[in-house]
Structure 1
Amino acid sequence: MHSALWASKTGLAAQDTMLTTISNNLANVGTTGFKRDRPEFEDLLYQVKRQPGAQSTQDTQLPSGLQTGTGVKVVGTQKIFTQGSLQTTEQPLDLAINGKGFFQILMPDGNMGYTRDGSFHLDSEGQVVTSNGYPLEPGIQLPENVQSFTVGEDGTVSITVFGDPGVQEIGNLQTADFINPAGLQAIGSNLYMETAASGAPLAGNPGENGLGTVLQNTLENSNVSVVEELVNMITTQRAYEMNSKVISTADQMLQYISQNL
C-alpha cells in the first residue's frame, strides 16, 4: 500500500474523532456544569531510512537523517475544567461552586460521585437530591415545616420554620477537589468518578484549602464557547478535506503507474 494512503487514513480517523468531540461539546452548550472536551493527538512511529548523526565518511557525520512519518493517532481526550459563567436564579436549591471543587453525590451502589451541576431538588422525605434522585453527601434533610433555606458561602446550611423566628443550623455542605481533575471518569448524568489518575478526593468546607465558595440561587453554565467550537469545526472540516485529497491524489498516481507501465 502507498504510504501516503495509510498516513491519510489515520488523519481521517483523527479528524473524525475531533468532529465527534466538537459535536458533543456543542450538544452540551446548555448543560449545567458541563466541561468541554479536547482531543489530544500524537504522531505515529517514523520510518528511519538514514539515521541522523550517522557517519557519512570516516571523518564526517550526516547533519540530518531521512525519516518519514506514518500518520497520527488520538491518545486521549481531556476535560477542560475552567469555570463556566454563573447565572443567578430564583431557586434556593440552585447552588454553584465559585472556584475549585465538586459536589459529592452518593450513588446507588454506595460509591461516591462528583458533579459541578448544582441544580438540586427535594425528594418526598425532604432530602436534597440530584435530578436523578441521588442524595447529596453529607446528606441534608429539610423538615416539613421549613419556611426558608439558606446555604452560606462556607457551606453552612440553616433554615427557619413556621412559628419560630429563630434560625436553625441543620448541617454543613462539603465539597471535594482532586489533584488531577482531568483524570476523573465521566459517567454521564453530569457525574464523575474517582480514578487512579485523578488521585484521592480532598474533601473540606467550601472556601478552605483552595476549595471554591458555594453560591446559592446560582447555577454554573457550561464552559463551552460556541464561537470557538464553530472555528474548530471549520478547521476540522478543512483538515478532513485535505486528507481526503491526499488519498485521491495517491490513487491517481497508482492508477497512472498501473496504466502506463
Structure 2
Amino acid sequence: MNPIVRLESVSVERSGQRVVHEVDLTVGRGSWFGLIGANGSGKTSLLRALAGRLPFAGGSCRIDGDELILDRAARATRVGFSPPPDKLPDALRVREALELIGGGIDEILPRLGPLRAALALDALLNRWIGDCSAGMRQRIAIALAFVDAPALVILDEPFNWLDPVASFDLRQALRAMVDNGLTLMTALHDLGTLAAACDTGLMLADGRVAMALDDNLLRTAAQNPQAFERQMIDLLRSNGDEVNGRFGLGTGVSAL
C-alpha cells in the first residue's frame, strides 16, 4: 500500500469529552475508504479532525508523509471537505458559493469531472441556496469539497437526502474519480454502499476501533451483501464486542 493518510493513536475531544480514543488507520492513495458505525460512534469527529475542522487531542497524523497533528490549517488546505448542508449560506446563489472557494465558475466546472453531471449542478448554479431543498443542498455541499480538485476528499454521509437516481449517479461518478487517482474517505450508514464501493474501511464503536475492513473482506462482502449486512448489524448492536471470529467473517477481519 502507498499510504496518503496514516493515523496512529489519534484522539479527539469535543466540549471537554473524549469522543475518539486512540484510533489507528491507514488509507492507500487512489482508494475509497469507508468509515462506518452507529450514531455517536465518533465518525464525524474523526473526519472533521483529519480535515482540520477540529483539533486532535493526541497521536500522530501524517498526510503525504508529513506530520500534521498540530497543524490544523495545513490539514484543511490539503483535504477537500464537504460542509454540513444545513450550514450553507442561504443568502448566496450556488454559483457564488462555489466561486467563493474555487475561483471563477468557468475554472471550477471542468475540475468537477463526472460529478458535474452526477450532481446535476448546472441547473442549480443560479438558485439561491435558501430556496434549495435538502437534496439540493447535499449536492451543493458535495461539489464544494471538489472545487479545488484536491487529491484527498472527505465526505460525511454523502448519500443522505439524495433520491435513488442521484445516489446511483453519485456513486458511479465517485468510483470513476477514485479509479482515476482520487483518494476518498466517506462516513457511511449504508452497508450496501460500503460493500459495493469501498476498497477498505473501518468500523468505530464508542469512539474506538471495532474492526478493520480490508480489501479481501469487502470483496467477499460484495459477493454476498445480505450476509455481510447481517454480520455488520450484529456487530453494531453489540458495539463491536468480541469481533474476531465471533461472526464467521473469515481471515479478512482483524482488529487494529
Kindly indicate which of the two structures has a greater share of residues assigned to strand: 1
TM-score normalised by structure 2 residue count:
0.22
